[in-house]
């Protein structure tokens, strides 16, 4: 080949590549018409760890365990799809970035359904009624949210717990924002904050581990939902049908009791 023609040949190759790249929209659809990122697989993103909703588990086939993980496993089974779970950041999930950029089909991450989030996401029916709670070290003088005056309270970035704290804590409480529960728990251990305000089940986990106690819970009428890419209505329908089926045949109650039974 004449070497001087190389740029032209390379150029033509690039052109072909660019055109094919444009053509492939990526993904596939299920029998119901729901769009999937990877064919035959339900790809789920979750901000792990957030026990008891999601946590790492080497022995599990997906590598994860928890209430959300069990719920989406049932949904994938009902839809005849394989399940892949990816660890992601909560910011990316709740802003819609992870879903809109095609990283996953579904976000299952103890995510409360809010009007703001609905701007960029579609939600399934609520699958869990969430409460907020205040966790303090044993022997702390903080008994209620009003006692946070002049104290440091840890909250998670982007959560409804943060919004609740901003709306209800005394104005001179110092609200310290963390990327996730992992850092918050370290911070209260290190004495960097005096209390944590976040979802009840997560604080319950810390209480069970010892040294800390929940002094107040808050009923905020929040519901967790599974988030999907805006406009993927077929998938929303599929997921809602599976959730309904789980409520009807008792699977949901079994799972619920596995994680949240007070008995």
Partner 1 sequence: MKRSTRRRLNRGVLYAVLLAVVVGLILGVDWHTVRANFFSPGARDNWHDLITVGVKNTLIYTFIAFAGGLVLALVLAIAKLSPVAPYRWLATAYIEFFRGLPALIVILAMGFGVPIAFQWTPPGGVIGAGLLGLLLVAGAYMAETIRAGIQAVPKGQTEAARSLGMGGARTMVSIVLPQAFRIIIPPLTNEFVLLIKDTALLFVLGVTFQQRELTSVSRDFMTSGATAGTATSLLQAAILYLIITLPLTRLVAWLEKKQQRAR
Residues 138 and 212: their CA atoms lie apart, in Å, by 5
Under the criterion CB under 8 A, does residue 22 sit at the interface with partner 1?
A: yes
Residues of this chain, 96-115, that bind partner 1 according to CB under 8 A: 96-97, 100
Q: Closest approach of Cβ 176 to partner 1, in Å?
A: 4
Strands 82-87 and 41-46, by their bridges, are: parallel
Q: Is residue 193 a contact residue for partner 1 (CB under 8 A)?
A: yes
What's the DSSP call for residue 228? E
Q: How far is residue 220's CA from residue 112's CA, in Å, rounded to a whole number?
A: 11
* Radius of gyration of the chain, Cα coordinates, nearest whole angstrom: 22
Helix and strand element counts for the chain (H, E): 10, 14
CB of 61 vs partner 1, minimal distance in Å? 31
Considering only residues 120 to 179 of the shown chain, the ones binding partner 1 according to CB under 8 A are 120-121, 152, 154, 157-159, 162-163, 166, 174-179
Find the shortest distance in angstroms from Cβ 22 to partner 1.
4
Q: Where are the beta strands (DSSP E) in the chain?
A: 28-29, 35-36, 41-46, 55-56, 64-65, 82-87, 106-107, 121-123, 128-137, 152-156, 174-178, 195-199, 212-224, 227-229
117, 130, 134, 200: which one contacts partner 1 (CB under 8 A)?
Answer: 117
Check residue 87 for interaction with partner 1 (CB under 8 A).
Answer: no
Q: Give the footprint of partner 1 on residues 23-52 (CB under 8 A).
A: none
Q: How far apart are CA 139 and CA 141, in angstroms?
A: 7
Query: Quick count: other Cβ atoms within 10 Å of Cβ 220?
Result: 18
- Bridge-based pairing of strands 212-224 and 128-137 is antiparallel
**Looking at beta carbons only, is 16 or 258 nearer to partner 1?**
16
Q: Which of 95, 140, 168, 207 binds partner 1 (CB under 8 A)?
A: 95
Q: Which is nearer to partner 1, 79 or 110 (CB)?
A: 110
Measured from the CB atom, the residue of 23 and 250 that comes closer to partner 1 is: 23
Strands 152-156, 174-178: pairing is parallel
Residue with Cβ nearer partner 1 (9 or 253): 9
Residues lying near partner 1 in the complex (CB under 8 A) are found at 4-5, 7-8, 11-12, 14-15, 18-19, 21-22, 91, 94-97, 100, 116-121, 152, 154, 157-159, 162-163, 166, 174-179, 183-184, 186-187, 189-193, 230
């Amino acid at each position: 080949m004449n070497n001087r023609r190389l740029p032209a040949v390379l150029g033509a190759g690039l052109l072909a590549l660019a055109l094919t790249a444009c053509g492939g929209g990526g993904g596939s659809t299920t029998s119901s018409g729901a769009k999937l990122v990877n064919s035959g697989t339900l790809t789920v993103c979750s901000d792990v760890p957030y026990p008891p909703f999601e946590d790492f588990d080497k022995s599990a086939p997906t590598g994860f365990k928890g209430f959300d993980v069990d719920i989406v496993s049932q949904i994938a089974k009902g839809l005849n799809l394989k399940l892949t779970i990816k660890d992601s950041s909560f910011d990316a999930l709740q802003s819609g970035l992870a879903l809109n950029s095609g990283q996953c089909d579904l976000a299952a991450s103890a995510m409360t359904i809010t009007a703001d989030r609905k701007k960029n996401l579609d939600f399934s029916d609520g699958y869990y009624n969430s409460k907020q709670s205040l966790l303090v070290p044993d022997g702390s003088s903080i008994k209620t949210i009003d006692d946070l005056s002049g104290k440091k309270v840890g909250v998670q970035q982007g959560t409804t717990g943060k919004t609740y704290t901003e709306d209800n804590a005394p104005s001179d409480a110092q609200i310290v924002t963390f990327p996730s529960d992992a850092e918050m728990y370290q911070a209260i251990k290190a004495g960097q904050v005096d209390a944590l305000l976040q979802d009840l089940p997560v604080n319950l986990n810390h209480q069970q581990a010892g040294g800390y106690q929940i002094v107040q819970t808050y009923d905020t009428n929040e519901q967790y939902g599974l988030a999907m890419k805006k406009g993927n209505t077929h998938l929303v329908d599929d997921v809602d049908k599976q959730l309904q089926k789980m409520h009807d045949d008792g699977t949901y109650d079994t799972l619920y009791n596995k994680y949240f039974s007070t008995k």
